[in-house]
Amino acid sequence: MSSNLQIGLAAAGGLVLAAVVAHGAWTSRRNAPRQADPEPQDTQPMEPNFSGEGHSGHDASERREPGFDAAMAAMPMPIPSPERRPGMDPLIDVIAPIALESEVSGDAVLAALPPTRRVGSKPFAVEGQNNATQHWEAPVAGQRYGALQAGVQLANRTGALNEIEYSEFVMKAQAFADTMGGAPEFPEMREEVARGRELDQFANDHDAQLGFTLRAMRTAWSPGYVQQNAARLGFVPGLIPGRMVLPSSTPGLPPLLGLSFDSQAALAEDPDQSAIREVALSLDVPQVDRAEQPFVRMRETATALAEAMDGMVTDDDGRPLQRDAMDQIGSELEKLYDTLDARDLSAGSALARRLFS
């Protein structure tokens, strides 16, 4: 009798232990961050695009991939043409003409340029008037120039040009002109510094960097899961761990959108076990041409990711962003675009990208 009792107790204890282990495994599995789907080995991955087609390897009936409405994909969208290196402009630069006794070669100009192209926190530049084209350009070896000019930017996101920076600009430009045998003519410092402050105030009042936060509703995400879902919408890895970007349709221009998450999670020894509960989606408004409709894409991207990853779109304070709130942001954004256009600082233009940098 005693032996049967011991056997029964041992069996019961084993069942309890098994139940505890099973519950622990189930709990651990339930709380583990979501993992990326295995990529198919028998198909070539397609380049990600905004239609949400390709790159998934799954039948459409099995799973709905993130994507945009067909109406958005079909919407005509004029794309800005590629630009050459933006030149100096009196709208945002102090420009000092340098008169020359005789024409100079591009090689000589390049050799005489100062080693650093900054004055304090502002970009410093030199341009030459090409004898053949009569256009102002950055010096090019093999070309001949009949006049030169030096310049410094009046303002950027670090602030306005100040008196100390202006004095440094004068010294740097004068030393360059002396090397070239030229005579510079500098604008009056007080007026240029005042222009810089006015431009800086305008920029501060009209600088917009928008951000949405995508928060996990229940299960956290692994870095690979986030990257896979973002890649299906066209995002590519950025230079910083934990950052991805949606490239511009025009090579060489800033990305349309940024997506970022905890860089420590991306750098972990076992990223699959890193739990991410929020992802930031960002738009640097002055850097992107309005013709690209970046805010529309931002909204569509946030919605698509939220649906695919079981997430919720919120503002930086964690408040859910409803459709009417996004509509209001879009309306205000159109007013901002109009103001920048009226000031000849259209979003995405070379001048706007320099000023808002």
Measured distance CA(198)–CA(165) in Å, rounded: 16
CA proximity to 328, closest of 305, 304, 295, 297: 295
Q: Which of 175, 204, 233 lies at the terminal end of a domain, its last residue?
A: 204
**Which of 176, 204, 232 is a domain's end point?**
204
Q: What is the pLDDT of residues 153-173, one digit of tens each?
A: 999 999 999 999 999 999 999
Number of domains in the chain: 2
Domain shared by 192 and 249, yes or no: no
Shared domain for 272 and 243, answered yes or no, is yes
CA–CA distance, 240 with 232 (Å, rounded to integer): 20
Both 344 and 258 in one domain: the answer is yes
Calculate what percentage of the chain has a pLDDT beyond 90.
69
Q: Is 181 left (phi over 0), alpha (psi -120 to 50) or beta?
A: left
Among the ranges given (16-25, 108-117, 154-163, 336-345), the one the predictor scored with the smallest mean pLDDT = 16-25
Domain assignment of residue 136, yes or no: yes
Tens-digit pLDDT profile for residues 208-224: 999 999 999 999 999 99
Are 302 and 216 in the same domain?
A: yes
Q: Is the pLDDT of residue 25 over 70?
A: no
Q: From the CB of residue 202, how many other CB atoms can be counted at a distance below 10 Å?
A: 16
User: In this structure, is residue 134 part of a structural domain?
Assistant: yes
- Which residues span the domain enclosing 148? 93-204
- Residue 301 domain-assigned? yes
Q: Which of 185, 204, 223 is the last residue of a domain?
A: 204
- Find the CATH number of the domain harbouring 264: 3.30.1400.10
Look at residue 38 and tell me if it is in a domain: no
Q: Is residue 19 part of a domain?
A: no
What is the C-alpha R_g of the chain?
Answer: 29
* Owner of token pair 């004055």: 119
The Cα–Cα gap between 149 and 99 comes to 8
Whether residue 275 sits in one domain with residue 212: yes
Indicate the pTM of the whole model: 0.77
Q: Do 151 and 236 have their domain in common?
A: no
